[in-house]
Chains A and B, each alone.
Chain A
Amino acid sequence: MTGPSHDTAPPALPAAPTTPAPPTARNVPALLLALRRTEFTGSVTVSSTPGGTIHLEQGLVSAVETPGAPTAETLLLKSRRVGEQEWASAETAASTGRPADAPPARGGDLGTALVAQGTISAAELEAVCVAAAFDGAFALALSPPGSWETAEAAPPARIALRPGIEPERLFEETARRTALLTRLWGPPGELARIRIRPATRPESGAPRIPVRHREILAAATGRRTARDLAFTLGRGVFAVLLDVVRMDARHLLHREPAHPAPPAPSVAPRIPTNEPPPASTGPLPRRVRSGPGARGPGSPSGPSGPGHLPARPERAAAPDGPPNTHRAEHTARTETTEQSEKSTP
């Protein structure tokens, strides 16, 4: 199962030098390795889309927070490992319940509080934190690279891994994940943008679908991407993507086009400048309230734009027909009223 191409996938974390960080680095992995050597404690904020923050303690990655993947906090709460109330009481315990001689608010002690109050076992919490950090790194690698900045005085993550993860391990795992999805499906960045919904299966006699996949089907509305599903279900983005790939292979899913077909109704101004609206070319429906015979000679004249446009200002300047001026005020300048204005003179 070990593919022959072991060296083909370089670490795919964001990479683009715009602001040279204190240790000049070519990309984020290089930066993290340099910070590992100097045992840097602080944070690296990557500003791509969605971007994120990599928390470091002694050069080791203690947490990765990005809007692109659920943090440990989201995983714990959404998967119902930790209830809202237990969370709140751990928060107060972490902020107030420390001994007086303890170092002031180191941050990341929320996890300790959760374990101390018996909400979650230390092993379970550690597993969730490790999973969240790797998933966050993977999510960062999905988007095109951006710039970054380092901050030494940055507050640590609320739930931090101590000791953290060796940056190198993070890159290797991220590269493996990217390579695996590429092999199974295609570009992971593209896969992550797909919105899915359950495939319509008329022959649903007794579809044998594992529970995990059934949960995804239940949550897939056609508007959610794998990332959205991960947040909803309290699972990792990579885990959901893998399941999506497997389910797709079994034809359980229907992929929505990347851009939903009917675009939102335009809210652009109808009459942008002094120019007449282009809607005046032939085939639009006309309002003929002022009588059935009032259909003017305007309709057959200009089938297309250029010949038609110059005639337009005249019509707009002649709203003298008594019934139409009245109506135009009422219907607030819509296109249909203009059409009816035109038809009378």
Chain B
Amino acid sequence: MRALEASLADVLGSPGVVGAALVDAVTGLTYQSAGDHRLLGTGAELAELTSLIGERLYEAGAESELESLVVTSTRHHQVVQVVPRKGDPLLLATVLDRERTNLALAVRQSADRAQDLLA
């Protein structure tokens, strides 16, 4: 059983990705991490942040569920993608090198990854 490790190694192989983590969206448990994932913070922080934003969006009247969260800094992009599944969702978080990344493409890729991460 090293399936998650393999999945995340794939993610890390994508252009521009320097770190990745797979986190439980509710409990904040980090299932797996790879590369330079420290920039993402802990799994607990990621889960807390996304659930806070997700809940506020919902309360504010958004009709749909939170899908992804993009944070840009001067050197990196962070993309946190909600991975829906039966049961509690997961979060696929990636750090991308800004120099080497097209943000729009990265978000799109992240969404695709989420689709087949657990398939």
Contacts and interface: CB of A to CB of B under 8 A. Distances in A.
Interface of A: 1-2, 75, 79-81, 111, 121-131, 134-135, 161-163, 173, 176-177, 180, 208, 210-212, 234-236, 238-239, 242-243, 246
A161 B5 CA distance: 13
Interface of A is mostly: helix
B38 interface: no
B41 A121 contact: no
Given A239-B26, A239-B27, A123 B3 contact: yes
B24 interface: yes
Given A2-B42, A124-B118, A210-B55, A81 B4 contact: no
Interface of B: 1-4, 6-7, 22, 24, 26-29, 31, 41-42, 44-45, 48-49, 51, 54-55, 58-59, 61, 65, 85-88, 90, 117-119
A203 to B, nearest CB: 15
A121 B26 contact: no
B91 to A, nearest CB: 12
Given A134-B29, A212-B88, 19 more contacts: A1-B49, A2-B42, A81-B86, A111-B1, A121-B119, A123-B3, A124-B85, A126-B4, A127-B90, A128-B87, A131-B24, A131-B27, A135-B27, A176-B44, A208-B59, A210-B65, A211-B65, A212-B26, A239-B24
Contacts of A235: 87-88
5 contacts: A122-B3, A130-B31, A208-B59, A235-B87, A236-B88
Nearest to A81: B86
A211 to B, nearest CB: 8
Contact of B87 (A81, A126, A180): A81
Contacts of B4: 123, 126-127, 130
B85 A173 contact: no
B1 A163 contact: yes
Contacts of A162: 1
Contacts of B88: 212, 235-236, 239
B29 to A, nearest CB: 6
Contacts of B48: 1
A77 to B, nearest CB: 12
A238 B27 contact: yes
A208 B61 contact: yes
Contact of B86 (A79, A161, A211): A79
Interface centre among B51, B88, B90 (most CB of A within 10 A): B88
A147 B61 CA distance: 52
B87 A177 contact: no
B3 A210 contact: no
A215 B28 CA distance: 20
B1 A129 contact: yes
B29 A125 contact: no
Interface centre among B29, B42, B85 (most CB of A within 10 A): B29
Closest 9 CB pairs of A and B: A122-B3, A123-B3, A239-B26, A124-B118, A79-B87, A123-B118, A1-B45, A126-B1, A126-B3
B87 to A, nearest CB: 5
A242 B26 contact: yes
Nearest to A159: B1
B32 to A, nearest CB: 9
Contacts of B3: 121-123, 125-126
A48 B18 CA distance: 45
B67 to A, nearest CB: 14
Contacts of B42: 2
A234 B1 contact: no
Contacts of A129: 1
Given A123-B118, A126-B3, A127-B4, A1 B86 contact: no
Given A121-B119, A210-B55, A243 B26 contact: yes
Contacts of B118: 121, 123-124, 127
